[in-house]
């Protein structure tokens, strides 16, 4: 595929422009080299798809309107296998349909960026534990605003290719629909390994034709003319397991922290709600409350060391999520009983999917955090 | 086959709608020395000749026809095969063709992604009826409807062979499988889906055919169908599809030697053989007319 650069350089996106979050993420994908996108409309992922459908052809790329989410990720899987930087995504339920393929793509070692423009935060377990089969992991990034989403989208393409693995970017409804002034341009995250694994048909007939499979990365040709010349699954899975472990261990966990120095109460939140938590915490600081916060930016790997350090001298650690409480598990694992961990979030089960709004109220959050200073919260809850 | 059957007009259709070649008498005497290999007929692109598939299985024959056509059309270093999941999956290891392994049913979507990014390659899927008609019906129908310029090959034996012989959506009425022990019954198990017929209805499909590998005539015809399907793709005409009826003596619980006749009398009676659609009309310079047994030059 020839990727024309003219579109990318002449578009206004190359300088600060007011864009909706979904368009900004789309531009960030294009700036990062994405030339294949497939998706199926589902609010609030829809606008990303619309943007890519309009923009990718202008830069020599391809956007396919898939007939379902499972086909969208299948198409992206095929595109990724050719070495084309590719992305797909959906919203919560759509991602559920994609999990089957996502699990296989991890084992097939293909770079792919997957967006979850989630409606609230109930997809945390889906994103970080996975809903697919088998023993797989992939990296997960969680921006809190449009500018960070632009940066992390570029980083996701870099990580995906560097690690030859899918990377999931957790966006949300607010992120998709907020208009901000952003400067989308390619960021250099460092050198990438060659794409010598990609399929183009040319290795056929050489005696070493390439294979991309969740079952193996090489054909067993040296067993001679024997019927047992099959895939060596055990050997492959051991290698894959070690590589996944290495990927998680070697990727730097990221988190934003604030007011931790003498914090008695530490609040942990990620994504859009973290902005409200940050405001509530700084309001309380202004009132003299010793409260701090940690905002995980990488959900996999989870910034456990940062959370553990923040909890070391705290009286109580609180987790805010716009869900029934899912990241709270990771926080408890990080804190390991050093301080009681309280969940102060709210369920978001609004079937319309737009229930994120009523709970995002700085005043309400401030009250919940303030309540943590009462003695009842000092006993461990676990 | 009896002498009277052998001597009948070879153009007269049998009840299953097939024609058979007459058996020729020979004056050769039994060999006086032991057998030895005089020539290895394994096609170039099959680099491990031995395989795990059962004796009498039709899938290796279909696979052979496929790789021979990749070679004959000069596509050896331009071909990307997308494999589904079934017994044939083991064969992805034996081929000296680039392979992308898909999940059950998803191969046409992967093929779409591959072809859109590498329009200069020959992209084809290899799937079974369980993979394609059960799990992946939506994917293949939409890929055909979009007119994706890829070729899908379906190895139809009417059972989930790999799981040990269970009913698929293509299993014919009356067929006994592990979960239709008294035979597939329309009232209880529904009717078989004739996939090639469904696909032929779609405007994006340019070439649709159904062949079989139960005898040399049908193998030759099937090979030509695969060739025409690949040529459809190479011309950029749109979606091409060849369904290939294959023997599964193991899954059918039928003697290996009886499996070709079982295929002809049961499967081919429901999934009838022939070219269902060829929008190119004008056959290329090497194509023999349909219905002849000549090997394409
Ligand atoms: S089970 Fe059937 S399809 Fe599978 S290898 Fe044996 S004969 Fe072939």
What is the ipTM score, two decimals? 0.91
Enter the DSSP assignment of A63.
E
Is residue A24 within a helix (H) or strand (E), and if so which, with residue range? helix A21-31
Instruction: Supply the pLDDT for residue B19.
Output: 58
Using the beta-carbon criterion (under 8 Å), do A227 and B98 form an inter-chain contact?
no
Instruction: Report pTM.
Output: 0.88
d(C-alpha B60, C-alpha B65), whole Å: 9
CATH of domain A17-182: 3.40.50.970
Over residues B73-116, the pLDDT tens digits come to 999 999 999 999 999 998 888 899 999 999 999 999 999 999 99
Q: Which atom of ligand 1 is closest in space to residue B161's alpha carbon?
A: 1
Does B229 map to a domain?
Answer: yes
* Residue B3 dihedral angles phi and psi, to the nearest 5°: -60, -40
- Is pLDDT of B4 > 60? no
Closest CB to B117 among A71, A84, A211: A84
Q: Around A151, how many Cα atoms within 13 Å sit in the side-chain half-sphere?
A: 8
pLDDT means per 10 residues, chain A with 382 residues, are: 39 68 96 97 93 96 97 98 97 94 97 94 93 93 96 97 97 90 91 96 93 88 58 87 95 97 96 94 96 98 97 95 93 96 76 56 89 71 44
Structure confidence at residue A99 (pLDDT): 96
How far apart (Å, rounded) are the C-alpha atoms in residues A376 and B216? 84
For A253, A308, A349, B14, the CA distances from A336, given in Å and listed in that order, are 18, 8, 29, 77
Query: Domain residue spans in chain A?
Result: 17-182, 255-372
**What would the DSSP string read from start to end of B5-52?**
HHTS-TTSPPTTS---PPPPP--PPPPSS----------TTB-----S
Give the distance (Å) from ligand 1 centre to CA of residue A286.
74
| Residue whose CA is at the smallest distance from ligand 1 atom 2 | B248
Q: Is B74 on the interface with A (CB under 8 A)?
A: no
Residue B18 lies in a domain: no
C-alpha B143/C-alpha B132 separation (Å) is 12
Fold assignment, A255-372: Rossmann fold (3.40.50)
**What burial letters (b/e) apply to B45-56, b meaning 16+ CB within 10 Å?**
bbbbbebebbeb
Contacts of A199 in chain B (CB under 8 A): 80, 98, 100, 114, 118
Peptide bond into A301 cis (omega under 30): yes
pLDDT exceeds cutoff 60 at B9: no
Between chains, do A204 and B76 touch, taking CB under 8 Å as contact?
yes
What residue numbers bound the domain in which B187 lies? 58-277
Q: Whose CA is nearest to atom 6 of ligand 1?
A: B54
- Domain membership of residue B209 (yes or no) is yes
Q: What is the DSSP string of A135-166?
A: S---EEE--SSHHHHHHHHHHHHHHHHHHTSE
Given a cut of 50, whether residue B296 has pLDDT beyond it is no
Q: Among B97, B98, B162, pick the best mutation site for testing chain A contact (most A Cβ within 10 A).
A: B98
Average pLDDT, chain B: 88
B167 forms bridges with which residues in the sheet? B159
Four-point Cα dihedral B75, A201, B105, A235, nearest 10: 130
Task: Give the C-alpha separation, B139 to B110, whole Å.
Answer: 10
Beta bridge partners of A114: A88, A168
Q: Report the C-alpha gap between A59 and A31 in whole angstroms.
A: 10
**Which of these, B76, B45, B99, B86, lies nearest to A218 by C-alpha position?**
B99
Residues 6+ apart with CB under 8 A from A12: none
For residue B11, what pLDDT is reported? 53
- CATH number, position B70: 3.40.50.970
- pLDDT for the residue numbered A9: 39
Instruction: Name the minimum distance, in Å, from the CA of A353 to any CA of chain B.
Output: 27
Q: How far apart are CA A378 and CA A317, in angstroms?
A: 10
Structure tokens at A68: 């379902």
Q: Residues B123-157: pLDDT tens digits?
A: 999 999 999 999 999 999 999 999 999 999 999 99
Is residue B98, in this structure, part of any structural domain at all?
A: yes
Distance CA A41, CA B92 (A): 35
Are A82 and B106 in contact (CB < 8 Å)?
Answer: no
Average pLDDT over residues B239-252: 97
Does ligand 1 lie within 6 Å of residue B263's CB atom?
no
Q: Which residues pair with B80 in a beta bridge?
A: B98, B123
Q: How far apart are alpha carbons A347 and A366 in whole angstroms?
A: 18
| Contact call for residues B170 and B266 (beta carbons, < 8 A) | no
Nearest to A328 by CA among A347, A312, A349, A352: A347
Task: Say if B270 falls within a structural domain.
Answer: yes
| Structural domain includes residue B10 | no
Cα distance from N-terminal residue to C-terminal residue, chain A:
55
DSSP one-letter code for B131 = I
B32 within a domain of the structure (yes/no): no
Give the pLDDT score at A379.
Answer: 52
| Cα A252 from Cα A206, distance rounded (Å) | 40
Distance CA B162, CA B133 (A): 15
The per-residue pLDDT for B7 is: 42
Q: How far is the CA of B58 from the centre of ligand 1 (A)?
A: 8
Q: How many domains does chain B fold into? A: 1
For chain B, percent of residues with pLDDT exceeding 70: 87
Helix (H) or strand (E) holding B126: strand B122-128
| Residue A242 confidence (pLDDT) | 94
Nearest CA to ligand 1 atom 1: B161
> Which one has a higher pLDDT value, A327 or B9?
A327
Catalogue the E-assigned strands of A119-249. 139-141, 166-172, 179-182, 211-212
Query: CA-to-CA distance for A86 and A36, rounded, in angstroms?
Result: 5
- The answer to whether B60 touches B92, Cβ cutoff 8 Å, is no
Q: For residue B2, what pLDDT band results from cuts at 50, 70 and 90?
A: very low
- Give all strands (DSSP E) within A217-303, no chain letters: 255-258, 265-268, 291-296, 298-300
A199-219 b/e (C-beta count within 10 Å ≥ 16 → b):
bbbbbbbeeebbbbbbbbbeb
Q: Answer whether the bond into residue A44 is a cis peptide, omega within 30°.
A: yes
Q: Which residues pair with B128 in a beta bridge?
A: B155
């Amino acid at each position: 595929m020839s990727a024309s650069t003219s579109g990318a350089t002449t578009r206004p996106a190359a300088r600060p422009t007011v864009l909706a979050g979904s368009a900004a993420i789309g531009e960030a994908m294009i700036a990062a080299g994405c030339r294949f996108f497939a998706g199926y409309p589902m609010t609030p992922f829809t606008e990303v798809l619309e943007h890519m459908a309009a923009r990718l052809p202008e830069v020599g790329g391809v956007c396919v309107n898939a007939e379902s989410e499972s086909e969208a990720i299948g198409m992206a899987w095929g595109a990724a296998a050719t070495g084309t930087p590719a992305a797909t995504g959906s919203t919560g339920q759509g991602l559920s349909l994609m999990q089957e393929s996502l699990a296989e793509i991890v084992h097939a070692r293909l770079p792919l960026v997957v967006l979850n423009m989630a409606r609230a935060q109930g997809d945390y377990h889906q994103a970080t534990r996975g809903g697919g089969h088998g023993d797989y992991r992939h990296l997960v990034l969680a921006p809190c605003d449009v500018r960070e989403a632009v940066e992390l989208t570029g980083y996701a393409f870099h990580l995906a290719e560097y690690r030859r693995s899918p990377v999931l970017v957790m966006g949300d409804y607010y992120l998709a629909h907020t208009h901000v002034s952003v400067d989308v341009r390619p960021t250099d995250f460092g050198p990438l390994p060659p794409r010598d694994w990609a399929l183009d048909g040319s290795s056929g007939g050489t005696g070493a034709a390439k294979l991309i499979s969740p079952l193996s990365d090489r054909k067993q040709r040296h067993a001679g003319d024997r019927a047992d010349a099959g895939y060596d699954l055990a050997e492959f899975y051991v290698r894959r397991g070690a590589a996944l472990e290495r990927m998680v261990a070697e990727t730097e966990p990221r988190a934003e922290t604030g007011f931790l120095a003498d914090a008695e109460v530490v609040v942990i939140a990620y994504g859009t709600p973290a902005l409200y938590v940050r405001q509530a915490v700084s309001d309380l600081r202004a009132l003299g409350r010793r409260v701090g916060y940690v905002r995980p930016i990488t959900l996999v790997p989870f910034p456990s060391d940062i959370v553990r350090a923040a909890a070391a001298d705290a009286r109580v650690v609180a987790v805010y999520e716009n869900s029934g409480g899912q990241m709270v598990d990771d926080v408890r694992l990080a804190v390991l009983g050093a301080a009681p961990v309280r969940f102060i979030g709210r369920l978001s089960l609004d079937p319309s999917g737009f229930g994120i709004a009523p709970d995002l109220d700085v005043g309400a959050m401030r009250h919940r955090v303030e309540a943590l200073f009462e003695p009842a919260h000092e006993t461990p809850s676990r | 086959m009896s002498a009277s059957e052998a001597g009948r007009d070879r153009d007269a259709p049998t009840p299953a709608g097939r024609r058979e070649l007459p058996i020729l008498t020979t004056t050769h005497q039994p060999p006086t020395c032991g057998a030895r290999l005089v020539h290895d007929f394994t096609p170039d692109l099959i680099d491990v000749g031995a395989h795990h598939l059962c004796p009498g299985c039709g899938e290796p024959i279909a696979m052979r026809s496929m790789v021979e056509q990749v070679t004959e059309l000069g596509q050896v270093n331009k071909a990307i095969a997308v494999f589904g999941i079934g017994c044939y999956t083991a064969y992805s290891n034996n081929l000296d063709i680039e392979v992308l392994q898909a999940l059950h049913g998803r191969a046409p979507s992967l093929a779409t992604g591959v072809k859109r990014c590498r329009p200069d390659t020959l992209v084809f899927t290899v799937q079974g009826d369980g993979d394609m008609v059960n799990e992946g019906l939506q994917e293949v129908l939409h890929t055909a409807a979009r007119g994706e310029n890829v070729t899908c090959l379906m190895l139809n034996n009417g059972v989930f062979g790999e799981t040990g012989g269970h009913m698929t959506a293509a299993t014919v009425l009356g067929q006994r499988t592990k979960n239709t022990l008294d035979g597939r019954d329309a009232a209880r198990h529904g009717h078989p889906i004739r996939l090639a017929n469904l696909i032929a209805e779609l405007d994006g499909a340019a070439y649709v055919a159904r062949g079989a590998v139960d005898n040399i005539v049908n193998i030759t015809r099937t090979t030509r169908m695969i060739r025409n399907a690949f040529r459809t793709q190479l011309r950029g005409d749109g979606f091409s599809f060849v369904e290939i009826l294959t023997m599964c003596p193991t899954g059918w619980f039928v003697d290996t030697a009886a499996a070709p006749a079982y295929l002809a009398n049961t499967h081919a009676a429901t999934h009838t053989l022939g070219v269902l659609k060829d929008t190119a009309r004008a056959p290329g310079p090497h194509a023999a007319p349909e219905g002849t047994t000549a090997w394409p030059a």
